[in-house]
Amino acid sequence: MSSLSLPGFARDAHGKPIIGTTPEDLYAYGHLIRSSELLVLDQFSRGLVSGTTHTCLGQEICAMAVVRALTHPEDAALSNHRNHGHFLTYSGEFVGLVAEIMGRAAGACGGRGGSQHLVWRHFHSNGVQGGMTGIGAGLALARKRQGSGAIVAAMIGDGTLGQGLLYEAMNLASVWSVPYLVVVENNGISQTTEPHQNLGGDIQARGAAFGLQTWRLDDADPAFCEQAAAVVAQVRESQRPGFLVIDTRRMGPHSKGDDLRDEAVLAAIRARDPLVAMGQRLPDAVRAGIEARNAVFLDAVREVANASPEAVYDDAPEHIFDRAGELQGAQPTYPIVAASSSVRLGINAALNHLLATYPETLLLGEDLHDPYGGAFKVTQGLSSAYPGRVISTPISEAGITGAAIGLALDGFRPILEIMFADFLSLCMDQLYNHAVKFPGVFPQVAVPLIVRTPSGGRRGYGPTHSQSPENIFTSVPGLTVLFGSQRHDVARLLVDAARRWPYPTLFLEHKLLYGETMDSGDYEVLAADPDDLAAHLFPTLLRRRPDVDLTIVTYGGMLPVVEEAALRLEDEEELRVDIVVPSLLSPLPRRTLLAHLLNSERVVIAEESHHEFGIGAEIAACLLEAGFAGQAFRIGTPPVPIASARSLERQILPDADRLIEDILDNLY
């Protein structure tokens, strides 16, 4: 970071500025923040900044008040798109912020995050409204479990009160009784929308409804910062969640030039300006001295940021996975699973082993506790054996996904169960915009998260409990997707995912395989190409036949269907069939698959998921790009809802009869 010293302020042992509550300190630091915001806007006008930015002009004192009071070294601050004041108060990195917004190498995040997406120690910000609130609940749970006395503060705007995730997060914080302060910066305008158009009821009552301690303050009150510090102290002392509403006003536009408010409204906001009022409490000479000192500092900030070269990758990244992270630490031990164990018992044994061996392992999900043990009994017995570490949660898929991300950010190894894979749609923002973005944008941040979920149909559960959504999630950059079969050692797959692959991972389990016996049969492990990320950890299996006529690629719950079809093709049609079964769907082990598939004359990819834009399409594209001269085609589920009636479901999902018919139609 920058070597520039903050004018008039010391830092604590961890680099955070020490800002008192005297008018001189508050005006001096607030003036630094405002001057830096004006500098950024000036850089825009000079064509030195691209993209967008959201300044906190008029809200500097509001932005400082809570963050300056986060004095414990493990206190965390979470922010949003209007994050500059929070970031500067937490980090003091003025050069880092300005250079980051300019896209320069000296930026706080090397130009990868820009204005909205910043990390500095325990400060995280993201541009999705309310997206950090569930993560904050997880970070606060981590601090409660660690007993550090630290707290988490999440800053949101009043516009975020329309986001459902916020209420899931507040409920989690209340149920778990964690040290979590939700701060609503109520500036009275949601981009361009007035509160009467988007806000019903009372703001403060929202916190009280969840049993949170609630407060309402005004940043124009001369005692505001002392009052905010008292709120932080109360949350810290009680180690319980709180909800603080701060009435403030945004003086600038939403971003750069989209302010549609009447001039009379803006004039009233300028007349109210808490920073100007703070400065007027100082003698003129003191105020002038502060402003002159800050001007010199900001000139130096501009000079250093301008001199920094544009941010450039040494090599443009092709993925977020750091190869050194694949085998981090010692190779784990594995559970001893009886030879006749079912897939369900194998997964249960893996979870038991992880809980017994690694104290940072936590399980979260709905109805995991005994005697129920989860909807498919996968966690049966574990809550009794490990009290407090198997956490049955509210029905809040987005919220608990965010909480699991927060736990992962803070050193835990959470394994989250989503009751049905269909409900992953409720988790999408947390996975797509948060879990995979953090390690992708901030290389120093790890999110070792596993999301387990039962997938697939053939049980008559109907349109919203029978889907196989892996084709959606393999398209999420940076999300690892695993789907084992009864021929894989699923216990080993899960342990390796939990201990040797520190990236967000979706671990799919087909419902019909839970009762199947784990048995590798006559399958061998296909040699993993060393250039295929994680292919050696999550193997591809091969059932090999001599003088093969046809190779079928499949995975997960389609394998029993494919095995039945292959047996009948061999017995009835005298066709010799190889079966290739990857457990790793993303990142796809392309080279490992191609090494075998390119030797086949005919390749069929069979999947239970909708085959349009699916796994089969990707494998077929790989074959085409590699110059495959043979015949390749896909068999899967058509793009229609899965009916509940078993007779209708059988017509939709591909079975052995359908596979045989389609294969023979394509061969002859």
pTM: 0.95
Residues 465 and 603 in one domain: no
Confidence class for position 332, pLDDT limits 50, 70, 90: confident
State yes or no: pLDDT of 28 exceeds 80. Answer: yes
The amino acid present at 188, given as its one-letter code, is G
More confidently predicted of 253 and 635 = 635
- The H or E element containing residue 579 is strand 577-582
The dihedral sign for the CA sequence 106, 108, 112, 117: negative
Residue 606 near residue 659 (C-beta atoms within 8 A)? yes
User: Does residue 225 lie within any of the structural domains?
Assistant: yes
DSSP secondary structure, 251-298, as one string: -S-SSSS-----HHHHHHHHHH-HHHHHHHTS-HHHHHHHHHHHHHHH
Side-chain-side CA neighbours of 25 within 13 Å: the count stands at 14
User: Does residue 504 lie within any of the structural domains?
Assistant: yes
Q: How far apart are CA 509 and CA 275, in angstroms?
A: 56
Q: Which of 247-261, 499-513, 538-552 has the lowest mean pLDDT?
A: 247-261
- The H or E element containing residue 417 is strand 413-417
Residue 311 near residue 105 (C-beta atoms within 8 A)? yes
Confidence class for position 251, pLDDT limits 50, 70, 90: confident
pLDDT at residue 21 in the model: 96
Three-state SS letters, 627-657:
CCCCEEEEEEECCCCCCCCHHHHHHHCCCHH
pLDDT at residue 433 in the model: 96
pLDDT at residue 191 in the model: 62
User: Does residue 439 lie within any of the structural domains?
Assistant: yes
Pick from 231, 226, 239: which is nearest to 214 by CA?
Answer: 231
Mean pLDDT of 292-315: 96
More confidently predicted of 143 and 263 = 143
Residues 292 and 366 in one domain: no
Three-state SS letters, 360-382:
CEEEEECCCCCCCCCCCCCCCCH
Mean pLDDT of 77-102: 95
Q: Which of 208-212, 322-326, 447-451 has the lowest mean pLDDT?
A: 322-326
The amino acid present at 266, given as its one-letter code, is L
Q: Which of 454, 483, 513 is the last residue of a domain?
A: 513
CB atoms within 10 A of CB 209: 16
The CATH number linked to 496 is: 3.40.50.970
Residues 594 and 640 in one domain: yes
Residues 293 and 357 in one domain: no
488 catalytically annotated: no
Pick from 90, 18, 31: which is nearest to 273 by CA?
Answer: 31
Residues 6 or more apart whose CB falls under 8 angstroms from that of 261 comprise: 189
Mean pLDDT of 577-588: 98
Q: How far apart are CA 469 and CA 639, in angstroms?
A: 12
User: Does residue 573 lie within any of the structural domains?
Assistant: yes
The CATH number linked to 661 is: 3.40.50.920
Q: How many domains does the chain have?
A: 3
State yes or no: pLDDT of 190 exceeds 80. Answer: no
Residues 231 and 380 in one domain: no
Confidence class for position 337, pLDDT limits 50, 70, 90: confident
Residues 483 and 541 in one domain: no
State yes or no: pLDDT of 258 exceeds 80. Answer: no
> Distance of CA 321 to CAs 412, 441, 442, 619, Å?
19, 11, 12, 21
State yes or no: pLDDT of 1 exceeds 80. Answer: no
User: Does residue 205 lie within any of the structural domains?
Assistant: yes
Q: How far apart are CA 153 and CA 665, in angstroms?
A: 62
The amino acid present at 591, given as its one-letter code, is R
Residues 200 and 90 in one domain: yes
Confidence class for position 278, pLDDT limits 50, 70, 90: very high
pLDDT at residue 336 in the model: 85
Mean pLDDT of the chain: 94
Pick from 8, 179, 22, 5: which is nearest to 93 by CA?
Answer: 5
State yes or no: pLDDT of 188 exceeds 80. Answer: no
CB atoms within 10 A of CB 306: 15
Which strands sit side by side in the sheet containing 450-455, from one edge to the other?
390-392, 361-365, 413-417, 450-455, 505-510, 480-483, 584-586
Q: Which of 465, 510, 610, 611 is catalytic?
A: 465
Confidence class for position 328, pLDDT limits 50, 70, 90: low
Pick from 511, 452, 490, 507: which is nearest to 653 by CA?
Answer: 511
Mean pLDDT of 391-403: 98
Residues 179 and 249 in one domain: yes
Residues 427 and 490 in one domain: yes
User: Does residue 523 lie within any of the structural domains?
Assistant: no
Tell me the Ramachandran region of residue 521: left when phi exceeds 0, alpha when psi lies from -120 to 50, beta otherwise.
Answer: left
State yes or no: pLDDT of 327 exceeds 70. Answer: no
Residue 166 near residue 133 (C-beta atoms within 8 A)? yes
Pick from 177, 178, 195: which is nearest to 186 by CA?
Answer: 195
Residue 562 near residue 579 (C-beta atoms within 8 A)? yes
Phi, psi of 634, rounded to the nearest 5 degrees? -115, 150
Pick from 147, 152, 245: which is nearest to 202 by CA?
Answer: 245
The dihedral sign for the CA sequence 439, 489, 465, 370: negative
State yes or no: pLDDT of 485 exceeds 80. Answer: yes
Q: Name the residue range of residue 39's domain.
A: 23-307
More confidently predicted of 328 and 304 = 304
Q: How far apart are CA 137 and CA 168, in angstroms?
A: 10
User: Does residue 520 lie within any of the structural domains?
Assistant: no
Residues 114 and 157 in one domain: yes
Instruction: Spell out the alpha helix ranges (H) of 109-176.
Output: 133-146, 164-176
- Residue 234's SS3 state is helix
Confidence class for position 284, pLDDT limits 50, 70, 90: very high
pLDDT at residue 333 in the model: 87
pLDDT at residue 223 in the model: 97
Residues 656 and 573 in one domain: yes
Residues 87 and 44 in one domain: yes
Residue 45 near residue 256 (C-beta atoms within 8 A)? no
pLDDT at residue 644 in the model: 96
The one-character DSSP state at 476 is: S
User: Does residue 328 lie within any of the structural domains?
Assistant: no
Residue 587 near residue 472 (C-beta atoms within 8 A)? no
Per residue in 430-446, pLDDT (tens digit) is 999 999 999 989 988 99
284-307 helix and 23-45 helix, angle to the nearest 10 degrees = 40
